[in-house]
Structure 1
């Protein structure tokens, strides 16, 4: 009988993975994809977790994400228990990171944490992993609270924002962020346990499967961090035309449509726009959706309002995506800043006289925020800042003296925090 040519085969005599091992094997692949190949955690998940049951897929993601939150402290423990530092990309180091983060942060019993990791390494390295893990647990090793930021990130952010920001960022990275909902109709809040920090918003008290939350099927709300909802809020209600540029996955498009705008949503990624189509159908809202490159696309006419939530390093969402702390380098920040500059210049052409342009990035890098705006205004005398007012923002959040908004990790920390953002509203003369 001929065997299908692409069917994977195990080496002769190799036993199938024991229960629990496939999830740890996937976690190792995820860490390798982020730390060695520079991929985003979510981008690598489908490949790393291929064939896994949903529970194992979720466990692999949770292990990898927690290891990335605590990577400097995990590595410091490992180095304290080895005669020679292991190479950064050595498989024993990866295996120890996975075993230790389970035992010291995720509550996995030590014997389960190590027994499900040892099959990932062979020969002498297996003995090394077992020995280092056992030594650290016998010594009563713990991980510090809050976690430590990677040195390159801490140095860069300290230079921009100072000591307090570093302390706030370390506290923010300690736990995954809460789940925020934006309501389709602010006057009809769902009967769910949570806290409203702003009209049309609900922060849930407990995490849950999104599709199982009351009101999901009816399209009463969509998931959107409160910070990410502010740019569209600053455009306000209207009955004119609006462009949502770099629109996917679509939360801002839904906001604008719900506020009465005739929206055209444009994004380069057709796969990410699929989610926008699904949410439009679920909520009963309407928008024209276009898959196109903004550097070559042209709207049929200028719009009353343009929202550019520009591609960026995404360092402001490190609470949700801790991989950005390890894969974002200054070269990427510079590359994104140059792209933003080009997109912002094009977006400016598409604003009607007297119209509004909102520029935002979910970045904590000044080059992608304050410096970007300064550069734009120096070249576009027809635009000026339309200052953001206190009553347009959640209580406890204030605009800066120049009328723009900079959200740092300490914002609303006592209420669960916010993602990092830079937001500016401009008016065309």
Structure 2
């Protein structure tokens, strides 16, 4: 047991600086520390914070290492903290630099296969003085005690409680199992006939490849035959079906659903608020050769020139459903964010409904596991708009193993398709406007 209280230094005395050159790889760990701080203390998304946190690194491999360290730390944060707390007499503050340094060292040694001596040697330069001695002591105590991490990670307490309440114990347990390792990669194809013959396929125009596959090296990437898109994320456009006709894809980036609609024969206008995110739309359009228009606009201020036969509302949300690929959401998406997103979704949905032509289709979707952003949202919409009604999926419209709820909408949960690699958490509802 190590005393977590650092020794006091006389006032004004400078912190001692470690001598000698830093061990190779320290820069990547320093970037990882900045990245972890951006997520946990400032609430920034992991992917958004990555460029700034790794700006001083010389190349892609070091940036990839920093990302991998932090992603694995976020998958296993409660268990890492439990180990740290078991080895200190006084609990370290959650935002203490020593705690973050220990998280980074321990996750490397216990989950990423880094030799313990390298894991601690590249982390110690990130702290100095008393905290440095503390980090070294706690790490050594845990390594001598043969510390391990559980095979199934522990969900953050607030998340586990919320999901158990909303979806039951088994869904929460499945969520914990789902974060133990990165999920497989799903591909959506423009032409179903071009799907990789040796890949798992759970729906038309779908292929599933192993986690960690080098995407750009897969057959058909350069030719633009497919794009990366989780199977659950492909459901909204599947429920719109094939064109011809005009379609709006609102809040469209990165563009997977836009590409699906264009490949299905719709004349698509993709509306996206963020210029930087719209760049992804353009990149995907150029690579695939599919045709669609892009409008850089706020859907709360923008209006189409004419109603559309199909409107897809891929609403901004807490994104808790994509926790398998983005474990930072487990630590960022609290109740306040869910409430804020639900308010925004209601405004977007109410506005988009007026853009659906009589007899046309509106599909509302969120990659969220929170009922406030899904079931409650569409129930309120149907009460407010009696000119719309649910149109449940027909046989063959949904991927194998996914079924609609009795109400006619689709909800994927942790545990859905688990034996074949799972899928993201999504809510999707298709509603149809009455004919004039």
The TM tier, using the shorter chain, reads over 0.9
Listed as ranges, the gaps of 5+ residues in structure 2 are 1-15
Q: CA deviation at 1:17?
A: 3.9
Contact 1:183/1:200, CA 8 A, preserved across alignment: yes
Which secondary structure state, in structure 2, belongs to the residue aligned with residue 266 of structure 1?
Answer: strand
String of CA shifts for 1:212-239, please: whole Å, max 9, x gaps: 2221110011010111011001100111
Which secondary structure state, in structure 1, belongs to the residue aligned with residue 92 of structure 2?
Answer: coil
**What is the distance in 2 between the residues matched to 1:174 and 1:245?**
33
Which secondary structure state, in structure 2, belongs to the residue aligned with residue 423 of structure 1?
Answer: strand
Contact 2:316/2:366, CA 8 A, preserved across alignment: yes
Which secondary structure state, in structure 1, belongs to the residue aligned with residue 105 of structure 2?
Answer: helix
- State whether structure 2 residue 66 is matched by structure 1 residue 66: no
**What is the distance in 2 between the residues matched to 1:103 and 1:154?**
26
Number of equivalenced pairs? 418
Which secondary structure state, in structure 2, belongs to the residue aligned with residue 96 of structure 1?
Answer: helix
String of CA shifts for 1:258-305, please: whole Å, max 9, x gaps: 000000000101111111111111111100100000000010000000
The corresponding residue for 1:36 is: 41
The corresponding residue for 1:414 is: 419
Contact 1:247/1:309, CA 8 A, preserved across alignment: yes
**What is the distance in 1 between the residues matched to 2:297 and 2:168?**
40
**What is the distance in 2 between the residues matched to 1:15 and 1:400?**
63
Question: What TM-score results when the alignment is normalised by the length of structure 1?
Answer: 0.95
Given candidates 283, 301, 307, the residue that maps to 2:288 is 283
Which secondary structure state, in structure 2, belongs to the residue aligned with residue 181 of structure 1?
Answer: strand
**What is the distance in 1 between the residues matched to 2:395 and 2:131?**
58
- State whether structure 2 residue 362 is matched by structure 1 residue 357: yes
- State whether structure 2 residue 176 is matched by structure 1 residue 164: no
**What is the distance in 2 between the residues matched to 1:412 and 1:358?**
23
Moved more, 383-392 or 254-263: 383-392
- State whether structure 2 residue 154 is matched by structure 1 residue 187: no
RMSD of the alignment, in Å?
Answer: 1.4
Change over 3 Å in CA distance of 1:34–1:334 after alignment to 2: same
Q: CA deviation at 1:391?
A: 2.0
**What is the distance in 1 between the residues matched to 2:84 and 2:65?**
23
**What is the distance in 2 between the residues matched to 1:378 and 1:124?**
61
Listed as ranges, the gaps of 5+ residues in structure 1 are 1-10
Which secondary structure state, in structure 2, belongs to the residue aligned with residue 194 of structure 1?
Answer: coil
Given candidates 403, 406, 413, the residue that maps to 2:408 is 403
Q: CA deviation at 1:12?
A: 11
What are the within-5 Å matches in structure 2 for residues 159-238 of structure 1?
Answer: 159-190=165-196, 193-205=198-210, 207-238=212-243
Q: CA deviation at 1:178?
A: 0.8
What are the within-5 Å matches in structure 2 for residues 1-400 of structure 1?
Answer: 17-52=22-57, 53-190=59-196, 193-205=198-210, 207-400=212-405
**What is the distance in 2 between the residues matched to 1:101 and 1:425?**
43
Contact 2:366/2:427, CA 8 A, preserved across alignment: yes
Contact 2:17/2:128, CA 8 A, preserved across alignment: no
Contact 2:25/2:122, CA 8 A, preserved across alignment: yes
Change over 3 Å in CA distance of 1:206–1:339 after alignment to 2: closer
Q: CA deviation at 1:177?
A: 1.0
Contact 2:183/2:211, CA 8 A, preserved across alignment: no
Question: What TM-score results when the alignment is normalised by the length of structure 2?
Answer: 0.94
Q: CA deviation at 1:394?
A: 1.5
Which secondary structure state, in structure 1, belongs to the residue aligned with residue 130 of structure 2?
Answer: helix
**What is the distance in 1 between the residues matched to 2:178 and 2:281?**
29
Which secondary structure state, in structure 1, belongs to the residue aligned with residue 192 of structure 2?
Answer: coil
